[in-house]
């Protein structure tokens, strides 16, 4: 599997190679076209000039004039092109290579080509001039017009190899520059890719450390990180923090469950062993069997509470099909009646404040019954003998507010944010009842939040009050 650096490098190299190839090909085509057009244009100007000069000398005594021969040679040397002058029969009579005589003189052009030049007024072509030159050339031909009649033609040409040599030099310069650019680009891409891949390697290293149990591992944020990499690092750190918190909660949960299970299990085991080995007298066995039964029931309630919490968390919310239209007043009143014996045993004063008309809501009635039950049970438990117990329902906007209050010791402000945590118990002065597991209020909050509602607690001047909301349905 290729690294991020390797992928970046080869991708950039491929793009650069394709770009340089396209650029080089386009450059060569354009330069070759420019040089060809320039050469042909120069040949055309030279041919026109020589043809006009030859016509002028033809009228003044013929083309064999010494002055014309010298002018032809000078023009050829200045332009760098070869020129030959042919008579009306196509015979070469003058050549710029050697005015006084050369190997081309006496040769005859192809008659078809001669007539083509005379008839069309000129010709531009590229190829081999049979009988004159053996190499490939750019050539331009023009007729020598004397009194409207063709007295011959002028043929000006230059080797095509000249342009090829120029193109080869340009190609060498381009290749040298391209290699230099590629080298610089490779070095730049290498440095950039290594710089960009360094945060990824650090992220992988941190993730590996986190996966091996180092929950404190975090990605270090540098100012030179890219915006995208910084977002990834922040997201990873947030995820790691969340997982760390969840892991600590899990460990705390396991520790709390283990601690809570240890006491009743030890009690049950001790009493059962005492009955079996005869340590506990037969006349007291029934008493201790009742204790064993109570402890077993406590364990059953713990398991049931944990299953309820797991189910609520699994659902992630109360499905609409499990919600019903019911009266909160009737629900709360039925729950309060179930505590009649406990309330009378502690001689509590119950204050009920509800509207005179039904207060309807849309929720799961079983879960809301459990919420009210847990709150009233908690209030009765911590309310002192002869104290006040309150149950109030009021309407406000689109919400119904249900409050359960009790007299008793004020909960310290630093304890208030923790009362809804799993297995959280207040100090021993407020936790004299061993039936509590510290799960009741956690279940209450889980149920209320599963309905998309809120619950709050306040405690001051010896009065504690829990209030939760439910949607109000007309």
Beta strands in 218-259 (DSSP E): none
My answer on whether 301 and 327 are in the same domain is no
Gyration radius of the chain over CA positions: 53
Q: What's the rounded mean pLDDT across residues 99-122? A: 78
My answer on whether 301 and 324 are in the same domain is no
Neighbours of 337 (CB within 10 A): 9
My answer on whether 11 and 159 are in the same domain is yes
My answer on whether 147 and 11 are in the same domain is yes
Distance CA 129, CA 301 (A): 112
Which of 282, 315, 348 represents a domain boundary (last residue)? Answer: 315
C-beta of residue 269 within 8 angstroms of C-beta of residue 277: no
Distance CA 437, CA 423 (A): 6
My answer on whether 157 and 299 are in the same domain is no
Cα 79 to chain centroid distance, Å, stands at 64
Structurally, the chain folds into a number of domains equal to: 3
What's the pLDDT tens digit per position in 122-161? 898 888 877 677 788 888 998 988 877 888 888 888 888 8
Which of 114, 143, 164 represents a domain boundary (last residue)? Answer: 164
Cα 93 to chain centroid distance, Å, stands at 80
Q: Look at residue 34 and tell me if it is in a domain.
A: yes
My answer on whether 296 and 339 are in the same domain is no
Q: Look at residue 376 and tell me if it is in a domain.
A: yes
Residue percentage of the chain with pLDDT more than 90: 17
Helix extents (H) in 66-106: 66-79
Predicted confidence at residue 309, as pLDDT, reads 67
Query: What is the span of the domain harbouring residue 420?
Result: 320-471
The closest alpha carbon to 362, from 315, 316, 398, belongs to: 398
Q: Look at residue 302 and tell me if it is in a domain.
A: yes
My answer on whether 304 and 274 are in the same domain is yes
Q: Look at residue 222 and tell me if it is in a domain.
A: no
My answer on whether 338 and 257 are in the same domain is no
Cα 60 to chain centroid distance, Å, stands at 87
Q: Look at residue 35 and tell me if it is in a domain.
A: yes
Which of 110, 134, 164 represents a domain boundary (last residue)? Answer: 164
My answer on whether 283 and 310 are in the same domain is yes
C-beta of residue 85 within 8 angstroms of C-beta of residue 106: no
Helix, strand or coil for residue 368?
helix
For residue 118, is pLDDT > 80? Answer: yes
Q: Look at residue 200 and tell me if it is in a domain.
A: no
Q: Residue 148: CA atoms inside 13 Å, Cβ hemisphere, count?
A: 0
What's the pLDDT tens digit per position in 244-276? 887 877 776 677 667 667 767 877 888 888 888
Read off the pLDDT band of 180 (50, 70, 90): confident
Predicted confidence at residue 437, as pLDDT, reads 45
Predicted confidence at residue 392, as pLDDT, reads 95
Read off the pLDDT band of 433 (50, 70, 90): very low
Tokens of 387: 């104290």
Q: What's the rounded mean pLDDT across residues 80-98? A: 81
Mean pLDDT (the chain) is 81
My answer on whether 51 and 132 are in the same domain is yes
Helices 365-382 and 440-450: crossing angle in degrees, nearest 10, is: 150
Residue 333 is part of a domain; what is its CATH number?
3.30.565.10
Distance CA 335, CA 347 (A): 18
C-beta of residue 410 within 8 angstroms of C-beta of residue 468: no
C-beta of residue 196 within 8 angstroms of C-beta of residue 4: yes
What's the pLDDT tens digit per position in 336-348? 998 888 899 999 9
Q: Look at residue 415 and tell me if it is in a domain.
A: yes
Q: Look at residue 214 and tell me if it is in a domain.
A: no
Residue 153 is part of a domain; what is its CATH number?
3.30.450.20
Read off the pLDDT band of 428 (50, 70, 90): very low
My answer on whether 283 and 349 are in the same domain is no
Residue percentage of the chain with pLDDT more than 70: 87
My answer on whether 270 and 393 are in the same domain is no
Helix, strand or coil for residue 133?
coil
């Amino acid at each position: 599997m290729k690294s991020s650096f390797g992928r970046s490098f080869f991708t950039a190299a491929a793009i650069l190679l394709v770009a340089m190839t396209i650029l080089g090909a386009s450059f060569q085509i354009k330069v070759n076209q420019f040089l060809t057009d320039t050469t042909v244009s120069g040949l055309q100007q030279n041919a026109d000039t020589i043809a006009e000069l030859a016509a002028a000398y033809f009228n003044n005594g013929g083309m064999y004039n010494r002055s014309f021969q010298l002018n032809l040679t000078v023009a050829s040397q200045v332009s760098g092109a070869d020129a030959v002058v042919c008579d009306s029969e196509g015979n070469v009579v003058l050549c710029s290579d050697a005015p006084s005589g050369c190997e081309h003189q006496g040769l005859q052009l192809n008659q078809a080509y001669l007539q083509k030049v005379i008839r069309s007024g000129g010709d531009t072509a590229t190829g081999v001039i049979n009988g004159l030159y053996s190499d490939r050339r750019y050539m331009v031909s023009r007729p020598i017009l004397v009194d409207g009649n063709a007295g011959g033609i002028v043929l000006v040409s230059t080797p095509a190899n000249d342009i090829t040599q120029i193109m080869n030099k340009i190609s060498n310069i381009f290749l040298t520059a391209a290699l230099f650019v590629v080298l610089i680009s490779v070095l730049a891409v290498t440095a950039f890719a290594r710089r960009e891949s360094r945060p990824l390697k650090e992220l992988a290293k941190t993730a590996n450390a986190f996966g091996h149990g180092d929950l404190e591992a975090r990605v270090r944020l540098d100012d030179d990180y890219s915006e995208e990499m910084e977002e990834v690092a922040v997201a990873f750190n947030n995820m790691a923090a969340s997982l760390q918190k969840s892991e600590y909660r899990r460990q705390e949960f396991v520790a709390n469950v283990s601690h809570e299970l240890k006491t009743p299990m030890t009690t049950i085991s001790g009493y059962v062993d005492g009955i079996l080995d005869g340590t506990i007298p037969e006349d007291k066995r029934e008493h201790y069997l009742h204790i064993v039964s109570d402890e077993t029931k406590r364990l059953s309630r713990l398991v049931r509470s944990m299953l309820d919490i797991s189910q609520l968390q699994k659902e992630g919310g109360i499905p609409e099909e499990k919600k019903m239209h019911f009266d909160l007043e009737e629900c709360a009143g039925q729950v309060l009646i179930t505590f009649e014996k406990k309330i009378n045993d502690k001689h509590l004063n119950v204050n009920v404040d509800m509207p005179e008309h039904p207060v309807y809501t849309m929720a799961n009635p079983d879960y809301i019954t459990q919420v009210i039950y847990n709150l009233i049970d908690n209030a009765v438990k911590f309310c002192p003998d002869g104290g006040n117990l309150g149950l109030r329902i009021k309407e406000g906007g689109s919400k119904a507010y249900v409050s359960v209050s009790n007299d008793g010791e004020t909960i310290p402000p630093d304890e208030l944010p923790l009362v809804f945590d799993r297995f959280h118990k207040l100090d021993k002065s407020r936790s004299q009842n061993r039936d509590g597991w510290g799960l009741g209020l956690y279940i209450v909050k889980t149920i209320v939040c599963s309905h998309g509602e809120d619950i709050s607690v306040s405690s001051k001047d010896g009065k504690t009050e829990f209030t939760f909301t439910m949607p109000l349905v007309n």
